[in-house]
A and B are shown apart, each in its own frame.
Chain A
Amino acid sequence: EDQVTQSPEALRLQEGESSSLNCSYTVSGLRGLFWYRQDPGKGPEFLFTLYSAGEEKEKERLKATLTKKESFLHITAPKPEDSATYLCAVQFLYGQNFVFGPGTRLSVLP
């Protein structure tokens, strides 16, 4: 069964302390991997789509990378406003639907 896991479950950083979040998947063929940000009580906000190993996308302090088995969301010099839950979703080659990971809850302390 295709599965998506995320680690760590929760992460606390000091403002300015860079780190990475991981999204791993057991794959029967990857069509695309999607990163979302979700604030408490709100709907997820789309961040990035990655399609092939080696691909990278950047937006402000965030950079997403993709390998054959996992994706990383790198956060450089985070600020308190980056605090949120970050979700990844995988679209497998032989299906149309997204499989979401459980998310990583990020807290950035001032």
Chain B
Amino acid sequence: DGGITQSPKYLFRKEGQNVTLSCEQNLNHDAMYWYRQDPGQGLRLIYYSQIVNDFQKGDIAEGYSVSREKKESFPLTVTSAQKNPTAFYLCASSFRTLDEQYFGPGTRLTVT
């Protein structure tokens, strides 16, 4: 079955630690995205990538980093510089950046 997987579903970390969230897709999509969702707010774009080895900052990139070494994978690292890292993180992909996006199941990160 084609789709987008994110792991883990729940993640707990202590303040000051970096943490990496996984996102894999087997849809053969070129574009991939990371969003953050907080209660009562719309999804906010962190980073996106249109093609392998290329990525762009979104609206709230500070404190995050990404890599795109393979078409199928777009991991997100939440660094200790991110002031409010506790949130629900969603990965998405699309054939091109102009097309509808398909989302993974999300990772809920809690930092204490």
Task: List A residues at the B interface (Cβ < 8 Å).
Answer: 4, 31-32, 34, 36, 41-46, 49, 87, 89, 91, 96-103
Contacts and interface: CB of A to CB of B under 8 A. Distances in A.
B42 A44 contact: no
Contacts of B97: 96-97
Nearest to A34: B100
The 10 A-B pairs of least Cβ separation, nearest first, read A43-B103, A100-B42, A100-B43, A96-B97, A102-B42, A44-B103, A43-B106, A43-B105, A46-B100, A43-B104
| Residue of A31, A97, A98 most packed against chain B (CB within 10 A) | A98
B41 A102 contact: yes
A49 B100 contact: yes
A98 B40 contact: no
A101 B108 CA distance: 20
Interface residues of B, number: 24
Interface in B63-112: 88, 90, 92, 97-98, 100-106, 108
A101 B40 CA distance: 10
B90 A43 contact: yes
Contact of B58 (A32, A41, A44, A97): A97
B51 interface: no
Contacts of B88: 41
Nearest to A5: B42
Q: Which residue among B43, B88, B92, B98 has the maximum number of chain A CB atoms within 10 Å of its CB?
A: B43
A9 to B, nearest CB: 8
